[in-house]
Amino acid sequence: MAETTTLYTEQQIRLARYAKALSHPVRVYIMEYLVKNASRCFYSGTISDELPIARSTLSQHLSELKDAGLIKGEISAPYIRYCIHQEHWEEAKQLFAELFA
């Protein structure tokens, strides 16, 4: 049977998107790192110094978080600065809290 999005609310779809983005320990680490330092943005090179993974792998994880809307990337050629997307992060926290309530 084919899945149809008409069965799901917009909130359920957004929650699933956030959950998928957070479904890898590296992405959870990145979010914790950015949340703890929410007053600042970071270049991917700064974050890669914290993790024992290849920059290309880090880039894929950052892309997943960005595609889900949890982080923002500002291009400052040739670098990209990453920050928490505060509005979407707050929404994700609220949706998860409602799910686990």
pLDDT tens, position by position, 37-77: 877 788 888 888 888 889 889 999 999 999 999 999 888 77
Number of neighbours of residue 64 by Cβ within 10 angstroms = 19
**Mean pLDDT taken over the chain:** 89
- What's the token pair of residue 4? 């149809």
Q: Provide the pLDDT confidence category of residue 3 given band limits of 50, 70 and 90.
A: low
**pTM for this structure?**
0.86
Q: In what order do the strands lie in the sheet with 79-84?
A: 42-43, 79-84, 71-76
Under a CB-based contact definition with an 8 Å cutoff, are residues 63 and 70 in contact?
A: no
Can you list the domains of the chain with their CATH numbers?
Answer: 9-100 (1.10.10.10)
Please give the pLDDT value at position 52.
Answer: 87
Taking residues 77-96, report their average pLDDT.
92
Please give the pLDDT value at position 95.
Answer: 97
